[in-house]
Chain A
Amino acid sequence: MAYPYRHERETRILSEYFGDPEARRLAVWRARGGYAALEKALNMGPDAVIEEVKKSGLRGRGGAGFPTGVKWSFMPKDSGKPHYLLINADESEPGAFKDRELLRWTPHQVIEGALIGAYAIRAQHVYIYMRGEFFEPAQIVARAIEEAYEAGLAGKDILGAGVNIDVTLHLGAGAYICGEETALMNSLEGRRGQPRIKPPFPAAVGAFGMPTTINNVETVSTVPHIIKNGGDWYRSFGTEKSPGTKLFNMSGHLVRRGNFELPLGFNLKELIYDVCGGIPDGRKLKAVIPGGSSVPILSADEIDIPMDYESVARAGSMLGTASVIVMDDRTNIVKTVRRIVEFYAHESCGQCTPCREGTAWLVKILRRIESGQGTEADLDTLLDLGRNMTGTTICVLSDSAAAPVASSIKKFREEYLALIRGGKGSAATVAA
C-alpha cells in the first residue's frame, strides 16, 4: 500500500494501517487485535479505565491539549441523567487533515476508542459529529458502525457485559465553528451552530442539557492502545509533560507532505528537513505555522524547537493540532495572512461583536494594505483590533483570527511596510 509517504523515524501506533483498505473491515481489524482493548476495558470498570488514561498522560489532540483522563473524571458518577460522549470529527482548520485519515483508514480504531470512552464516563450514547464535506469518511464510518452493531460491539449488551452504548454518526452542514465543542452541541441539537457561554461546562450541562464529554478523533483513537498496553507504555513515548505520539500533518512547501506519526517533542527543524525532505526547488524557508492556521507564525530562525505543547508555547506559538504549514521565500506573508483571516471572517458565527465586526475589519484593512492603499496607522489599528479580539469572546475563533495578524506584523513588519510604501512587497510572486 503506497500511503503517500512513510519515514523510518516514525513511531506508527495510530497510523500503522494507513493506506490499507483491508483495515476498514471488522474481521481484519479484529484479527489484528482490534476490540481487545474494549473487552479489557469492560472488565476493568469505568473508574479503572479513567485512571489508566490519566496515568498515560494523554492530552486532547483537538488543539487545547487538556489531559483526557482528567476531563473524563469531571463527569458526574451518579447524576441519574443520560450522559453523552461526542466525538469531534469536524476537522476543518486549514492545515489539519489527521482526523480525516484516521476516519478513512481506521474507522474501527475510532469506534473502539469511543466505546471505551463512553464506558468510562457512563455514557449511553456516542455521537460522532463529522464534517459534512467528509463524504468518503462518512460512508466508511457508517459501514463500520453497522458492522460493530452486527457483531454486538455496539448497541445493547456489548460483548455480553451488560453495557448499552449506541453509536450515531451525525454529519455537519458546512460550518467550521461547529468544531467548537459547545457549537457542536448546539448543532447536534438542531440549533444554530454557535458557541455557548461557559460556565456551565459540558460535563455539567452539555448536549441536550445533560452531562457530556467531547473528545477529538485522534484522542479516542489513542485510547485502545493505552488500555491494551498500559499508561506506562504510552509514557515511554514523547516527553514527560507531552507523552505519546502525535500525527503531524505536514503541508506547504515541502518535498514530502502528509501525515507522519512521531513522538511528541520531535524537533521541528528535523521534521521539516529530514522527515519531509526539506523545501523543494532549492528555495529557502521563510515561515512556519506549527499548529494549524489559528496559531502565531514562526519565522525561519525560530524552528529549532521540540514539537511538544510546552516548547512550542515557549517559542510564542502553539502546538495546536500539529498541523504544520511550511512557507518558502516566495511567499507573500501579507496575502497569506489575509487569506487566513478571510477564512475566519467567513466562519465567524456572528454572535460576539469583536469577532463578527473585528474579523471583517481585519480583512478590509489587510486587503487595503495588500492593494497598496494602506497606511502605517493601519498597522496600529490591526494590532489594537487584534488585542481586543483576544480573550474577549465566547469562543476562541476571534483569537484565532487575530493571532496570525499580530505575529506576522511583529515578525514580517517590513513586508507590510513595503506594501504600504508603494512597493510590491519583498516577495515577487505569490505562493500557489
Chain B
Amino acid sequence: MSSTNGSTAIQGTAPSAETIRFTLDGLEIDARPDETILQAAERHGIEIPRLCYTEGMRADGNCRACVVEIAGERVLAPSCCRKPAPGMEVRATSERARKSQRMVVELLLSDMPAEAHRHDSELDYWARFLEVGRPRFAPRPQPAPDASHPAILVRLDACIQCTRCVRACREEQVNDVIGYAGRGANARIVFDLEDPMGQSSCVGCGECVQACPTGALMPAGLAADAVPERKVDSLCPYCGVGCQTTFHVRNGRIIQVEGRNGPANHGRLCVKGRFGFDYVYHPERLTKPLIRREGVPKDPHRLLDPANPLAAFREATWEEALDLAARRLREIRDTYGGGALAGFGSAKGSNEEAYLFQKLVRTGFGTNNVDHCTRLCHASSVAALLECIGSGAVSNPVSDVQYADVFIVIGSNPTVNHPVAATFMKNAIERGAKLILMDPRRSELARLATYSLQFKPGTDVAVLNAMIYTIIEEGLVNEEFVANRTEGFEELKRRIRPYSPEAMSAVCGIPAETLREVARLYATSRASMIFWGMGVSQHTHGTDNARCLITLALITGQIGRRGTGLHPLRGQNNVQGASDVGLIPMVYPDYRSVENPETRAFFEELWGTELDPKKGLTVVEIMDAAKAGRIRGMYIMGENPAMSDPDLNHAREALASLDWLVVQDLFLTETASFADVILPASAFPEKTGTFTNTDRRVQLGRQAIDPPGDARQDLWIIQEMARRLGLDWNYGGPRDVFEEIRKATPSYAGITWERLERESAVTFPCRNEGDPGEEVLFTERFPTPSGRGKIVPVDLTPPDELPDDEYPYVLITGRLLEHWHTGAMTRRSNVLDAIEPVPTAYLHPAELARLGIEESDGVALETRRGRITLAARADLAVPKGAVFVPFCWVEAAANILTNPALDPFGKIPEFKYCAVKISRAERVPQGEAAIGEHELATRA
C-alpha cells in the first residue's frame, strides 16, 4: 500500500496504524482518526464544494453542497460531518453527487442580488468551480437592508441560511444574539426577537461578519469591490488578550481587519479589534512636530482643543523640535540632576519601544524615574505575586480555562475588558466548567455563572479570608502541596481565626453558607483557576486582595498544573512586555532590582554607562513630585496621565507646573495640552515590533501602512532624542533592539526574531533557543529563594474614603466595551464612538428612582476633589448605593473624582472606591462635542 502521493504527506502525521485508508473517487487516501472526509480530501489537495462548513467551526452539514456518494448507502452524506471508515468507497465527483452539489448552488444562486455584496463570495467561487450557469429559478422578494448598526451592514438578500453566523454568535462568542427563525423557505437569520441589528443586544464583535460566506453581513462602509491589495498579519492594538489580526490594505489604507488563528484568539475578535481601527485616519492625527507658542499659558483647568493645535502651537521641522525638546531636558539634567527628570513610557508601544525608552531614561536622564500605566492597573497584583511566588506574570494562559472544572473570576468584567478571553471562558462553561463570579457589579458573565457573589464594594478580603477559613476548617487543604511547596501555613492558620464565613457575612453581604459552598467547590475540584482584574488590584488593599488569591491557590494546590493557577488579566496590549523589559522604576529588564549591585553592574556593562543606584518614583509619586517642583522636566510617550491618573485636577496642575514637557503621541491628548513640544508618532499598524500578551506570549506586530504626513515611527523618535541626550545609539530597527532585549532579559533569551516571524507567537520563559516556551509555570518549584510559595496572611483594611452623610455613595470607575482606556483612540473611531457617544453614569434603577432621576437625565457627581456631569443610565448590574463611571469621557472625566490614596506595596491608586454625592443636573454633555471644545471641570 503505497499509493499515497508523497508530495501531499504532511509532516508529523500520526503513524499509519492509526490512519484510515479509504478511496475517494478511486484514489486511495489516508485520513487521520479525527478527520472528516472533507478534511482528509482537503489535506490531499482535493476540493469538495462546501458553504456551511468553514475551518475552525463546528460542522453543521446543512447546506448539502459537500454531499458525497458512499458505496452501499442510499442517502448522500455530508462530507463535512462524516468520518471515513476503513475501505469506504466515497465518490465526490460521481454524476449523482455532482448533480446534487450543483442543484444546491443553483438554488442558492437564484436568490442572490444582481451585484454581489463581496468580491470574494464563496458561493460565486463554488458556482464557477461546479460550472453552474444561470439559475432556472427566479429570485423571490428579498428583505430590505438593515443599516441600523454602526459597524455591520445586514443585507439578507445574499443570505444562504448556512447558519455560520448563528454558530459564530452562539457557539464561538456565546453572545446568543443571532438566531434562526421561521421554517421552510421562510427560515431566516434574526437578531434577538427579530429586532433591527442596531437595536438588538448585539455587542458588535463581528464574528458573524467574518463567518459570512456571501456578504450578507458586512462591515458597514466596506465596498463590495474593495479588493485588498495586501494582507498583513499583525495584532490587535487594544487589550492584553493579544488577538492576532490580518490587516486588509488597499491604496495604502486599512480597509478591513480580520481575526487570525492565533493561540489567544483562534480567529476571534471583539468590536474594538475588528471595527476600531479607523482612529488612525482621524483628522486630528498630528502630522508635524509642534512647538508651544511663546506666551501660551498652561492652564490646568482648560484643556486645548485637539482639533486646533495651531491655536497654541506652531509647526516645526523635526530637526528643530528634537533639538529643542532634548536641549531643555539636558539643561534640567545638567542643572538639577537626573532626579529632576522623569519619563512615562507606554504599555501600548512595543517591547522595543518600551525597552529603548527605559534605557533612555536610565542612561540619558540618569534616573530610574520611569514608569507607565502598569502602576495604575496591576502594580499591586505584581507586588503580591513577586512577594509570594517570585514571578509577576500569569501562571497559566487564558486558554487553560478549557481544562478547568471550576474557575473564579473576581473583580473583572471580561466580556467588556477582555472580550475574546471571555469567549473561551463561556465556551468552557458550555462544556461544563463551573464559574464562580465575584464582583460588586453583576456583570454579563453572571448569566452563565454557577455562583455570582455580588459582595459589598471594597470587602474582597472578607470574602476571600472566609473562603480560606472554610478550606482550613473543613479539612479541604491539600496537605501534601502545603507541606512540600509552601511556607507560612501555620501562621495563616493562626491569623485566619477571626475570619469565619459567619463573621464575614455581615461585612461582605454574602450568606455564610454561600461562602462555604464556593470555597468547597474551588478547593475540591480536579482543576480550579483564578482570573482577576482591576476590581482586585485598584484598592488601597489591592496587594492584600492578590495575596488572598495566591493563598487560595497555594493551600489547595490549585497551581502548577493545566487548568489551574493564577491569571491577573492584563489590560493593555503590551503591559506585560513593557514591564518585562524594565519600564518600571524599581527594576531593570526581567524584574531585577535596580538596588542590587550585581544586577546594576551587569546593566552598566551592557549599556556602557554608570546607573542610578536608587529606585525611581512611580506614576503618582512623579506627579506629586512635579507639583512640588522636585521634578521639572518630563518626556511622555503614548501615556495620558491627564486622563488616567487619579484626582485629575491635581495631576493636571502637576503637568502644567513642569518647566519642560515633551509629549510623543498620535493626537493632541489631554496630556499634550501641557506640552512644550509635541512629537507626532506612529499608530500601531504603522510600525513593526513585538508585543507580549496576558498569557506571556511574545507576538509579532507587523507594519501594514505608513505613518501620515511627517509623523514618524516611535523607535526613530526615541533614538533621535537619545542621540541629542548624548547617547551614541545606532539601532537599525526593531530587530536590532530585540536582539539587545534578549541579552537584557533572560526569560526572552531563547526567542529569535526568525522564530517570531515564522510562528507569530512564542511563550516566555524561553531561555534557550529552541525551547518550546513554558505555558504552565511552577510545575516543580516557585522561583523564590526557598523554591516555596509564600503564604502571606492579611487582615481587613477598609477603603481609604468611606461614604458619609455628605458623600453617601460609592464611586466605581472602569471601562466600556467600546471605549478603550482614556478614549484617545476609540473616541476617535467613528464606529465605536457612534455606538457609545455620550458620557454616561450607571446606577441601579432603584437608586435613580430614589434620587428622582430619569434615565438620560443629567446627573452630577461630586467628590472632595471635583465634579462632573453625565447622562444617567439605569443598570441592574450596579449595586445599590454605588455609581459606575467609565473613565474614557474627556467631557466628564471620571478621574476628576477619584481618590489618589495608594496601596502601600504596589503604589496603585484606589480607582475602585471613593465617596461621592449624586444629584440631578440640567446639562448633559453631548457626544458630538466630545473631542472638540468642552467645558472643563473645575475644582468643587
> Which residues of A does B touch, CB under 8 Å?
175, 177, 192, 197, 345-354, 356-361, 364, 381, 384-385, 387-388, 391-394
Contact = CB atoms under 8 A, between A and B. Distances in A.
B99 A387 contact: yes
Contacts of B136: 381
21 contacts: A197-B61, A197-B81, A345-B184, A346-B183, A350-B161, A350-B185, A351-B163, A351-B180, A352-B62, A353-B64, A353-B108, A354-B107, A357-B111, A359-B184, A359-B185, A360-B185, A361-B107, A361-B137, A364-B137, A388-B103, A391-B74
B133 to A, nearest CB: 14
B185 A356 contact: yes
Contacts of A393: 64, 75
Contacts of A192: 180
Interface residues of B, number: 33
B64 A352 contact: yes
Given A381-B136, A391-B76, A393-B64, A351 B187 contact: yes
A354 B185 contact: no
Task: Tell me whether chain B's interface is mostly helix, strand or loop, or mixed.
Answer: loop
Interface in B59-103: 60-65, 67, 74-76, 78, 81, 99-100, 103
Residue from B65, B111, B136, B140 whose CB has the most chain A CB atoms within 10 Å: B136
A385 B99 CA distance: 10
Given A197-B78, A391-B74, A357 B107 contact: yes
B104 interface: yes
Contacts of B160: 353
- Nearest first, the 6 closest Cβ-Cβ pairs linking A and B are A350-B187, A360-B185, A357-B107, A388-B103, A348-B184, A351-B62
A388 B100 CA distance: 5
Interface in B162-183: 163, 180, 182-183
Contacts of B65: 353
A353 B161 contact: yes
B186 interface: yes
Contacts of A392: 64, 67, 75-76, 100
A385 B102 CA distance: 11
A350 B186 CA distance: 8
Contact of B185 (A357, A384, A385, A391): A357
Interface string B99-118: 11001100110110000000
B74 to A, nearest CB: 5
B107 A350 contact: no
Contact of B62 (A353, A359, A361): A353
Contacts of B140: 360
A394 B61 contact: yes
B74 A385 contact: no
A350 B183 contact: yes
A354 B184 contact: no
A177 B78 CA distance: 20
A388 B110 CA distance: 16
Contact of A357 (B81, B99, B108, B182): B108
With most chain B CB atoms within 10 A of its CB, the pick from A349, A353, A356, A391 is A353
Given A348-B184, A351-B161, 12 more contacts: A197-B81, A347-B183, A349-B183, A351-B180, A353-B63, A354-B103, A356-B187, A358-B103, A360-B184, A388-B104, A392-B75, A394-B62
A352 B100 CA distance: 12
A347 B161 CA distance: 17
Nearest to B77: A197
B187 A388 contact: no
A350 B161 CA distance: 8
A42 B449 CA distance: 44
B100 A349 contact: no
Nearest to B67: A392
Contacts of B78: 197
Interface string B178-220: 0010111111000000000000000000000000000000000
Contacts of A351: 60, 62, 161, 163, 180, 187
Contacts of A358: 103, 107
Contacts of B182: 350
A362 to B, nearest CB: 11
Contacts of A348: 183-185
Given A392-B64, A392-B75, A353 B107 contact: yes
A175 B62 contact: no
Contacts of A387: 99
B100 A354 contact: yes
Nearest to A344: B184
Contacts of A350: 161, 180, 182-187
Contacts of A197: 61, 78, 81
A175, A384, A388, A394 interface centre (most CB from chain B within 10 Å): A388
Contacts of A394: 61-62
A175 B183 contact: yes
A360 B141 CA distance: 13
A307 B78 CA distance: 35
Given A348-B184, A388-B103, A354 B74 contact: no
B46 to A, nearest CB: 21
- Residue among B60, B76, B160, B182 facing the most chain A CB atoms (10 A cut-off): B76
A25 B408 CA distance: 55
Nearest to B74: A391
B54 to A, nearest CB: 16
Nearest to A177: B183
Interface string B919-934: 0000000000000000
A379 B110 CA distance: 19
Nearest to A388: B103
A385 B104 CA distance: 10
Contacts of A175: 183
Nearest to A378: B136
Of listed B63, B74, B103, B182, residue having the most chain A CB within 10 A: B103
Given A381-B136, A387-B99, A354 B183 contact: no
Nearest to B99: A388
Contacts of B180: 192, 350-351
B60 to A, nearest CB: 8
B830 to A, nearest CB: 37
A391 B74 CA distance: 6
Contact of B184 (A356, A364, A381, A384): A356
Most interface-central of B60, B74, B108, B187 (chain A CB within 10 A)? B187
Nearest to B107: A357
Nearest to B59: A197
Contacts of B187: 349-351, 356
Interface centre among B63, B74, B163, B184 (most CB of A within 10 A): B184
The residue among A354, A356, A360, A381 with the most chain B CB atoms within 10 A of its own CB is A356
Contacts of B107: 353-354, 357-358, 361
A364 B104 CA distance: 17
Nearest to B65: A353
A357 B99 CA distance: 16
A385 B483 CA distance: 73
A385 B100 CA distance: 9
Nearest to A389: B103
A199 to B, nearest CB: 8
Interface string B134-146: 0011001000000
Nearest to B111: A357
A387 B140 CA distance: 22
Contacts of A361: 107, 137
User: Taking each of B62, B104, B161, B183, which has the highest tally of chain A beta carbons within 10 Å of its own beta carbon?
Assistant: B183
